[in-house]
Homo-oligomer: A and B are copies of this chain.
Amino acid sequence: MKNKVLLDPYSRQLTTIFTDEDLARLHAVADLLWARDELAPDAVVEQHAAELTVIICGSWHYGDVARFPKLRAVLEVSGGFPTPQRLDYAACFARQIRVLSCAPAFGPAVAEMGLGLALACARQIAWTDAAFRYSEPNWSHREFATVIGDTFTLYGKSVGLIGFGSLARCLKSLLVPFGCSLQAYDPWLTDTSLREQGVAPVDLHTLLATSRVIFVLAVPSTSNRALLGHEQLTLIRPDTVFVLLSRSHVVDFDALTALLLAGRFRAAIDVFPEEPLPADHPIRRAQHAVLSSHRAGAMGEALHMVGRFVADDLEAICAGLVPQRMQVAQPEYIQLRG
Protein backbone atom coordinates (compact mmCIF):
# COMPACT_ATOMS: atom_id res chain seq x y z
CA MET A 1 0.00 0.00 0.00
CA LYS A 2 1.27 3.45 -0.90
CA ASN A 3 2.39 5.97 1.69
CA LYS A 4 -0.15 8.67 2.53
CA VAL A 5 1.48 12.03 1.87
CA LEU A 6 0.06 15.48 2.54
CA LEU A 7 1.08 17.79 -0.31
CA ASP A 8 0.51 21.33 1.00
CA PRO A 9 3.27 23.54 -0.45
CA TYR A 10 1.58 26.92 0.16
CA SER A 11 2.84 29.63 -0.36
CA ARG A 12 4.60 27.88 -3.22
CA GLN A 13 2.39 26.89 -6.13
CA LEU A 14 2.39 23.29 -7.33
CA THR A 15 3.23 24.19 -10.92
CA THR A 16 5.94 26.59 -9.80
CA ILE A 17 7.95 23.88 -8.11
CA PHE A 18 6.92 20.69 -9.89
CA THR A 19 7.36 19.88 -13.54
CA ASP A 20 4.74 17.52 -14.89
CA GLU A 21 7.33 14.78 -14.77
CA ASP A 22 8.19 15.34 -11.13
CA LEU A 23 4.55 15.58 -10.10
CA ALA A 24 3.97 12.27 -11.85
CA ARG A 25 6.84 10.79 -9.87
CA LEU A 26 5.17 11.89 -6.62
CA HIS A 27 1.91 10.25 -7.70
CA ALA A 28 3.77 7.09 -8.66
CA VAL A 29 5.21 6.49 -5.21
CA ALA A 30 2.62 7.97 -2.85
CA ASP A 31 -1.03 8.52 -2.25
CA LEU A 32 -1.09 12.34 -2.40
CA LEU A 33 -3.61 14.14 -0.22
CA TRP A 34 -4.76 17.73 -0.69
CA ALA A 35 -2.27 18.58 -3.47
CA ARG A 36 -3.61 22.09 -3.98
CA ASP A 37 -2.06 25.56 -4.08
CA GLU A 38 -4.08 26.90 -1.15
CA LEU A 39 -3.19 26.17 2.46
CA ALA A 40 -4.71 22.90 3.60
CA PRO A 41 -7.59 23.57 6.03
CA ASP A 42 -7.13 21.99 9.40
CA ALA A 43 -10.18 19.82 8.84
CA VAL A 44 -8.52 18.17 5.89
CA VAL A 45 -5.34 17.62 7.85
CA GLU A 46 -7.31 16.18 10.76
CA GLN A 47 -9.14 13.80 8.49
CA HIS A 48 -5.89 12.17 7.33
CA ALA A 49 -3.69 12.78 10.38
CA ALA A 50 -3.70 9.21 11.58
CA GLU A 51 -2.43 7.87 8.25
CA LEU A 52 0.08 10.46 7.11
CA THR A 53 3.68 9.27 6.83
CA VAL A 54 5.05 12.35 5.08
CA ILE A 55 4.06 16.03 5.07
CA ILE A 56 5.28 18.30 2.26
CA CYS A 57 4.69 21.85 3.39
CA GLY A 58 5.63 25.50 2.94
CA SER A 59 5.98 25.81 6.68
CA TRP A 60 4.73 23.87 9.67
CA HIS A 61 1.22 24.97 10.68
CA TYR A 62 -0.08 21.66 11.91
CA GLY A 63 0.44 22.04 15.64
CA ASP A 64 1.56 19.10 17.72
CA VAL A 65 3.40 16.30 15.89
CA ALA A 66 1.66 13.87 18.22
CA ARG A 67 -1.36 14.23 15.90
CA PHE A 68 0.59 12.22 13.31
CA PRO A 69 1.42 8.85 14.81
CA LYS A 70 2.90 7.44 11.56
CA LEU A 71 4.80 10.53 10.52
CA ARG A 72 8.34 9.80 9.29
CA ALA A 73 9.34 12.96 7.44
CA VAL A 74 8.53 16.65 7.00
CA LEU A 75 9.65 18.11 3.67
CA GLU A 76 9.68 21.89 3.71
CA VAL A 77 9.64 23.70 0.34
CA SER A 78 10.05 27.36 1.28
CA GLY A 79 13.83 27.49 1.67
CA GLY A 80 14.42 27.38 5.43
CA PHE A 81 13.56 25.01 8.23
CA PRO A 82 10.29 25.36 10.13
CA THR A 83 10.88 27.56 13.18
CA PRO A 84 11.35 25.80 16.53
CA GLN A 85 8.51 28.01 17.81
CA ARG A 86 6.09 26.18 15.54
CA LEU A 87 7.56 22.71 15.17
CA ASP A 88 8.52 20.59 18.17
CA TYR A 89 11.93 19.36 17.00
CA ALA A 90 12.55 17.42 20.21
CA ALA A 91 9.51 15.32 19.47
CA CYS A 92 10.61 14.84 15.87
CA PHE A 93 14.09 13.74 16.89
CA ALA A 94 12.77 11.39 19.55
CA ARG A 95 10.60 9.69 16.95
CA GLN A 96 13.20 9.80 14.14
CA ILE A 97 10.96 12.00 12.07
CA ARG A 98 13.32 13.63 9.60
CA VAL A 99 12.77 17.36 9.03
CA LEU A 100 14.11 18.27 5.61
CA SER A 101 14.72 21.66 4.05
CA CYS A 102 14.86 22.35 0.33
CA ALA A 103 17.50 25.07 0.84
CA PRO A 104 20.20 23.15 -1.07
CA ALA A 105 18.02 23.23 -4.18
CA PHE A 106 18.69 26.96 -4.45
CA GLY A 107 22.47 26.56 -4.13
CA PRO A 108 23.44 26.37 -7.80
CA ALA A 109 21.29 29.33 -8.90
CA VAL A 110 22.37 31.53 -6.00
CA ALA A 111 26.01 30.60 -6.46
CA GLU A 112 25.81 31.49 -10.15
CA MET A 113 24.30 34.85 -9.28
CA GLY A 114 27.05 35.36 -6.72
CA LEU A 115 29.68 34.79 -9.37
CA GLY A 116 27.82 37.00 -11.85
CA LEU A 117 27.57 39.83 -9.34
CA ALA A 118 31.22 39.51 -8.36
CA LEU A 119 32.23 39.70 -12.02
CA ALA A 120 29.84 42.60 -12.65
CA CYS A 121 31.63 44.50 -9.86
CA ALA A 122 35.22 43.42 -10.45
CA ARG A 123 35.01 43.89 -14.21
CA GLN A 124 32.70 46.96 -13.91
CA ILE A 125 30.12 45.50 -16.26
CA ALA A 126 26.99 47.21 -14.94
CA TRP A 127 28.68 50.60 -14.61
CA THR A 128 30.12 50.47 -18.12
CA ASP A 129 26.74 49.57 -19.56
CA ALA A 130 25.11 52.47 -17.72
CA ALA A 131 27.82 54.81 -18.97
CA PHE A 132 26.94 53.90 -22.57
CA ARG A 133 23.43 55.01 -21.95
CA TYR A 134 23.80 58.03 -19.69
CA SER A 135 27.29 59.40 -20.29
CA GLU A 136 30.30 57.82 -22.01
CA PRO A 137 32.23 54.71 -21.02
CA ASN A 138 35.96 54.53 -20.65
CA TRP A 139 37.32 53.53 -24.06
CA SER A 140 40.91 54.14 -23.19
CA HIS A 141 40.71 51.07 -21.04
CA ARG A 142 41.83 53.03 -18.05
CA GLU A 143 39.91 52.47 -14.92
CA PHE A 144 36.46 53.71 -14.22
CA ALA A 145 37.24 55.00 -10.82
CA THR A 146 40.47 55.29 -8.96
CA VAL A 147 38.95 55.95 -5.56
CA ILE A 148 38.01 52.38 -5.01
CA GLY A 149 40.56 50.53 -7.03
CA ASP A 150 40.99 49.05 -10.42
CA THR A 151 39.26 46.55 -12.56
CA PHE A 152 40.59 43.13 -11.70
CA THR A 153 40.05 39.50 -12.58
CA LEU A 154 39.17 36.75 -10.12
CA TYR A 155 42.10 34.56 -11.21
CA GLY A 156 44.30 33.67 -8.28
CA LYS A 157 42.65 36.14 -5.90
CA SER A 158 41.94 35.55 -2.23
CA VAL A 159 38.23 34.90 -1.74
CA GLY A 160 36.57 35.07 1.68
CA LEU A 161 33.42 33.08 2.39
CA ILE A 162 31.35 34.06 5.40
CA GLY A 163 29.43 30.85 6.02
CA PHE A 164 30.46 27.56 4.46
CA GLY A 165 27.33 25.49 3.92
CA SER A 166 25.77 24.03 0.80
CA LEU A 167 25.62 27.39 -0.98
CA ALA A 168 29.33 27.99 -0.37
CA ARG A 169 30.13 24.56 -1.73
CA CYS A 170 28.22 25.36 -4.92
CA LEU A 171 30.10 28.64 -5.25
CA LYS A 172 33.41 26.91 -4.57
CA SER A 173 32.84 24.60 -7.51
CA LEU A 174 32.25 27.59 -9.82
CA LEU A 175 35.47 29.22 -8.60
CA VAL A 176 37.68 26.18 -9.24
CA PRO A 177 38.77 27.27 -12.74
CA PHE A 178 39.79 30.68 -11.39
CA GLY A 179 42.39 29.18 -9.07
CA CYS A 180 41.35 31.42 -6.16
CA SER A 181 42.65 30.74 -2.66
CA LEU A 182 39.62 30.30 -0.44
CA GLN A 183 39.31 31.25 3.21
CA ALA A 184 36.17 30.87 5.28
CA TYR A 185 34.65 31.90 8.57
CA ASP A 186 31.98 29.54 9.84
CA PRO A 187 31.44 29.02 13.57
CA TRP A 188 29.37 25.90 12.89
CA LEU A 189 32.24 23.97 11.39
CA THR A 190 35.55 22.95 12.90
CA ASP A 191 38.77 24.22 11.39
CA THR A 192 39.59 20.66 10.47
CA SER A 193 36.40 20.26 8.54
CA LEU A 194 37.06 23.44 6.55
CA ARG A 195 40.63 22.45 5.75
CA GLU A 196 39.46 19.06 4.61
CA GLN A 197 37.34 20.83 2.01
CA GLY A 198 40.29 22.83 0.74
CA VAL A 199 39.36 26.05 2.51
CA ALA A 200 41.54 27.90 5.03
CA PRO A 201 39.71 28.56 8.31
CA VAL A 202 40.17 32.18 9.42
CA ASP A 203 38.67 34.51 11.95
CA LEU A 204 36.28 37.17 10.75
CA HIS A 205 38.77 40.00 11.15
CA THR A 206 41.36 38.29 8.96
CA LEU A 207 38.78 37.39 6.36
CA LEU A 208 37.52 40.96 6.03
CA ALA A 209 40.97 42.52 6.03
CA THR A 210 42.64 40.19 3.53
CA SER A 211 40.07 38.98 0.98
CA ARG A 212 39.82 40.55 -2.44
CA VAL A 213 36.29 39.24 -2.90
CA ILE A 214 34.00 38.59 0.08
CA PHE A 215 30.80 36.58 -0.16
CA VAL A 216 28.24 36.71 2.64
CA LEU A 217 26.59 33.29 2.55
CA ALA A 218 25.65 32.71 6.19
CA VAL A 219 22.20 31.50 7.10
CA PRO A 220 20.58 34.00 9.48
CA SER A 221 20.53 32.94 13.11
CA THR A 222 20.00 34.52 16.48
CA SER A 223 23.74 34.69 16.89
CA ASN A 224 24.74 36.40 13.66
CA ARG A 225 22.40 39.40 13.53
CA ALA A 226 24.43 42.41 12.36
CA LEU A 227 27.56 40.31 12.66
CA LEU A 228 29.08 42.72 10.16
CA GLY A 229 28.72 46.10 11.84
CA HIS A 230 30.45 49.37 11.08
CA GLU A 231 33.63 48.28 12.79
CA GLN A 232 33.88 45.04 10.85
CA LEU A 233 32.96 46.59 7.51
CA THR A 234 35.68 49.21 7.82
CA LEU A 235 38.22 46.39 7.80
CA ILE A 236 37.42 45.74 4.13
CA ARG A 237 40.11 46.89 1.72
CA PRO A 238 39.23 49.62 -0.81
CA ASP A 239 40.05 47.33 -3.72
CA THR A 240 37.70 44.60 -2.50
CA VAL A 241 34.35 43.51 -3.88
CA PHE A 242 31.79 42.66 -1.19
CA VAL A 243 28.90 40.43 -2.27
CA LEU A 244 25.86 40.16 -0.01
CA LEU A 245 23.92 37.08 -1.03
CA SER A 246 22.30 35.21 1.83
CA ARG A 247 20.45 37.67 4.06
CA SER A 248 20.80 41.33 5.02
CA HIS A 249 20.18 40.18 8.60
CA VAL A 250 23.91 39.47 8.81
CA VAL A 251 25.00 43.08 8.17
CA ASP A 252 24.31 46.48 9.69
CA PHE A 253 22.73 47.75 6.52
CA ASP A 254 22.90 51.42 7.47
CA ALA A 255 26.62 51.11 8.09
CA LEU A 256 27.07 49.32 4.77
CA THR A 257 25.10 52.00 2.95
CA ALA A 258 27.14 54.80 4.48
CA LEU A 259 30.43 53.13 3.58
CA LEU A 260 29.33 52.52 -0.01
CA LEU A 261 28.14 56.10 -0.42
CA ALA A 262 31.55 57.17 0.87
CA GLY A 263 33.17 55.01 -1.82
CA ARG A 264 35.05 52.85 0.66
CA PHE A 265 34.79 49.62 -1.38
CA ARG A 266 32.68 48.02 -4.06
CA ALA A 267 29.65 45.87 -3.37
CA ALA A 268 26.94 43.77 -4.97
CA ILE A 269 23.77 43.34 -2.97
CA ASP A 270 20.92 40.93 -3.58
CA VAL A 271 19.12 41.14 -0.23
CA PHE A 272 17.78 44.13 1.68
CA PRO A 273 16.33 44.77 5.10
CA GLU A 274 13.07 45.82 3.47
CA GLU A 275 11.82 44.36 0.21
CA PRO A 276 10.78 46.11 -1.99
CA LEU A 277 13.36 48.67 -0.96
CA PRO A 278 11.88 52.16 -0.40
CA ALA A 279 12.28 54.35 -3.47
CA ASP A 280 14.26 56.90 -1.55
CA HIS A 281 16.69 54.52 0.12
CA PRO A 282 20.11 56.16 -0.24
CA ILE A 283 21.85 52.97 -1.36
CA ARG A 284 20.14 53.40 -4.70
CA ARG A 285 22.59 56.25 -5.33
CA ALA A 286 25.71 54.26 -4.43
CA GLN A 287 27.96 54.48 -7.47
CA HIS A 288 30.16 51.53 -6.78
CA ALA A 289 27.40 49.07 -6.02
CA VAL A 290 25.52 46.60 -8.19
CA LEU A 291 21.99 46.23 -6.86
CA SER A 292 19.85 43.15 -7.42
CA SER A 293 16.27 42.76 -6.24
CA HIS A 294 16.46 39.41 -4.42
CA ARG A 295 16.78 37.54 -7.69
CA ALA A 296 19.61 35.12 -6.90
CA GLY A 297 17.45 32.15 -6.09
CA ALA A 298 13.91 33.20 -6.93
CA MET A 299 13.79 32.00 -10.52
CA GLY A 300 12.06 29.28 -12.45
CA GLU A 301 14.90 26.79 -12.69
CA ALA A 302 15.73 26.97 -8.99
CA LEU A 303 12.09 26.49 -8.04
CA HIS A 304 11.86 23.45 -10.28
CA MET A 305 14.96 22.17 -8.57
CA VAL A 306 13.01 22.33 -5.28
CA GLY A 307 10.39 20.05 -6.80
CA ARG A 308 13.06 17.75 -8.15
CA PHE A 309 14.66 17.42 -4.72
CA VAL A 310 11.29 16.74 -3.10
CA ALA A 311 10.47 14.07 -5.67
CA ASP A 312 13.89 12.46 -5.31
CA ASP A 313 13.69 12.31 -1.54
CA LEU A 314 10.07 11.21 -1.44
CA GLU A 315 11.03 8.29 -3.69
CA ALA A 316 13.76 7.36 -1.23
CA ILE A 317 11.55 7.69 1.84
CA CYS A 318 8.72 5.65 0.32
CA ALA A 319 11.26 2.93 -0.56
CA GLY A 320 12.46 2.83 3.04
CA LEU A 321 15.77 4.44 2.10
CA VAL A 322 17.67 7.43 3.41
CA PRO A 323 16.84 10.71 1.60
CA GLN A 324 19.88 12.20 -0.15
CA ARG A 325 19.07 15.61 -1.62
CA MET A 326 17.39 17.89 0.93
CA GLN A 327 19.12 19.11 4.07
CA VAL A 328 18.35 17.17 7.24
CA ALA A 329 17.74 19.13 10.46
CA GLN A 330 20.39 18.26 13.04
CA PRO A 331 19.89 18.66 16.77
CA GLU A 332 23.02 20.81 17.10
CA TYR A 333 21.81 23.35 14.55
CA ILE A 334 18.44 23.74 16.18
CA GLN A 335 20.13 24.34 19.53
CA LEU A 336 22.59 26.83 18.08
CA ARG A 337 19.96 28.70 16.12
CA GLY A 338 17.46 28.28 18.94
Contact = CB atoms under 8 A, between A and B. Distances in A.
Contacts of A320: 332, 335-336
22 contacts: A112-B155, A112-B178, A113-B123, A116-B116, A120-B126, A124-B295, A125-B125, A125-B126, A125-B290, A128-B293, A128-B295, A133-B284, A133-B291, A138-B295, A141-B295, A153-B302, A189-B321, A190-B316, A190-B319, A192-B312, A193-B312, A322-B332
B299 A153 contact: yes
A196 B305 CA distance: 13
A141 B331 contact: no
Nearest 6 pairs between A and B by C-beta?
A: A116-B119, A141-B298, A137-B293, A132-B291, A139-B276, A126-B129
Interface string A148-163: 0011111100000000
A294 B141 contact: yes
Contacts of A117: 125
A196 B313 CA distance: 12
Contacts of A192: 311-312, 315-316
Interface string A246-281: 000000000000000000000000000001110100
Contacts of A116: 116, 119-120, 123, 125
Contacts of A332: 320-322
A153 B108 CA distance: 9
A43 interface: no
Nearest to A138: B293
Interface stretch (A33-41, A74-82, A169-177): A169-177
Contacts of A290: 125, 129
A325 interface: yes
A301 interface: yes
Interface in A282-309: 284-285, 290-295, 298-302
Interface residues of A, number: 78
User: How many chain copies does the complex carry?
Assistant: 4
Contacts of A336: 320
A196 B136 contact: no
Given A119-B119, A196-B325, A300-B150, A139 B316 contact: no
Given A290-B129, A312-B190, A151 B196 contact: no
B275 A139 contact: yes
A13 to B, nearest CB: 13
A157 to B, nearest CB: 10
A126 B128 CA distance: 9
A141 B116 CA distance: 17
A28 interface: no
A318 B321 CA distance: 30
A93 to B, nearest CB: 5
A83 interface: no
A139 B331 contact: no
A282 to B, nearest CB: 12
Given A128-B292, A141-B294, A193-B312, 13 more contacts: A94-B95, A126-B130, A130-B133, A136-B276, A137-B293, A141-B293, A153-B299, A174-B177, A189-B321, A190-B316, A320-B332, A321-B332, A322-B333
